């Protein structure tokens, strides 16, 4: 965040992803790690925030059932089941695969159909997979050939 600020980025939000099914702490010597952070930073004045769209997809509702403003704490489980990218041996193909719902929220909030979404750390390809489903163009960069292949195969499906 210090570097972002030095590069004249404005930090709009720090979103906390609370992992509702976090892996247990086997050492029993510290608290269980159950959060990650998403930093939403912008530069200049031409950035996008689709407030109404995010309000519409917010799973939380007002008491009367109407849409509610989305908060910066997102309770989502670690990826599992059909969404989890697995090899023939059943093992996860990437250790930190992100939930599609998290990328859906980020992409819907900060871009419009036809915009370009960049993921410079592509991993298993969740960002580009969701961007394509939401009608965005995309660019993914991944230096690890194994993970590049995982993401490439995912995009071909």
Strand (E) or helix (H) holding 113: none
Task: Render the burial of 36-50: b for 16+ CB within 10 Å, e for the rest.
Answer: eebebebeeeeeeee
- Taking only the tens place, the pLDDT of each residue in 118-150 is 999 999 999 999 999 999 999 999 999 999 999
| DSSP codes joined into one string, 50-87 | -HHHHHHH-S-B-TTS-B----SEEEEPPP-GGGS-B-
Measured CA to CA, the distance from residue 127 to residue 119 in angstroms comes to 7
| Structural domain harbouring 55 | 2-156
Please give the backbone phi and psi of residue 103, each rounded to the nearest 5 degrees, phi first: -70, -30
pLDDT at 157: 85
Number of structural domains in the chain:
1
The CATH code of the domain that includes 65 is 3.40.50.150
Cα of 87 vs its chain's centroid, Å: 22
- Taking only the tens place, the pLDDT of each residue in 51-87 is 999 999 999 999 999 999 999 999 999 999 999 999 9
Q: In this prediction, what percent of the chain has a pLDDT beyond 70?
A: 100
């Amino acid at each position: 965040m210090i570097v972002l600020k030095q590069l004249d980025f404005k930090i709009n939000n720090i979103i906390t992803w609370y992992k509702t099914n976090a892996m247990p702490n086997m050492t029993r010597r510290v608290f269980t790690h159950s959060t990650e952070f998403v930093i939403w930073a912008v530069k200049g004045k031409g950035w996008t925030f689709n407030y109404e769209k995010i309000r519409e997809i917010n799973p939380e509702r007002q008491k009367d059932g109407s849409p509610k403003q989305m908060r910066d704490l997102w309770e989502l489980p670690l990826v599992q089941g059909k969404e989890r990218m697995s090899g023939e041996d059943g093992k996860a193909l990437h250790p930190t695969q992100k939930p599609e719902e998290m990328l859906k929220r980020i992409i819907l909030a900060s871009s419009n159909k036809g915009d370009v979404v960049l993921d410079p750390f592509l991993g298993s390809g969740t960002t580009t997979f969701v961007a394509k489903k939401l009608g965005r163009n995309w660019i993914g960069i991944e230096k690890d050939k194994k993970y590049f292949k995982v993401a490439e195969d995912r995009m071909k499906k």
